[in-house]
Amino acid sequence: MSRRMELAKAYEKSLFAGDRAAVGKLFHDDIVYWVAGAPRIGGEWRGREGVLDALWNREPGLGAADWVSEDVWRDWYDAEDRVIVEIRERSWLKSHPKDVMDQRTCVVIRFRGEKIAEIREHTDSHIYEEFLARHRGELPKFKQH
């Protein structure tokens, strides 16, 4: 396993464990995080603290909610200066277990030296938009104030 692959998997493990400090140590100061789709679902965040805040506040996608999710598969690929992860996962709100989003995502993690310089998430944001149309009232990020 390459050093890039080790670092990419350490990033994912730390992210899923909620270890913000460990994730931050893997990022360059000027990291860029881009998510496909129009803002509030997609967007771009810059700088270590900005990207950490986006990840921890669940700014991309549909945001924090009472989610259940399961991985269907996750395939990792090593490239010259990046690691690519193809993901298929299923997600649903606990309150609507039969309304399942079957989402495929490709994440490109680009390195500069031994740190992550850029993360790009390519996903079908239309699936999120359709789910949002059905469940806007249950997604705190999109509730009207």
Whether the full predicted model's pTM is greater than 0.75, yes or no, is yes
For residue 95, the 8-state DSSP code is T
Which residue type, as a one-letter code, is found at position 132?
L
pLDDT in tens, 94-115: 999 999 999 999 999 999 999 9
pLDDT at 8 over 70: yes
Across the range 13-22, mean pLDDT stands at 97
| SS (HEC) of 36-60 | CCCECCEEEEECHHHHHHHHHCCCC
CA distances from 71 to 3, 39, 54, 62, 143 (A): 24, 25, 22, 18, 28
Per domain, the residue ranges of the chain are 3-142
CATH 3.10.450.50 fits 3-142, yes or no: yes
pLDDT at 35 over 70: yes
Model pLDDT, residue 143: 81
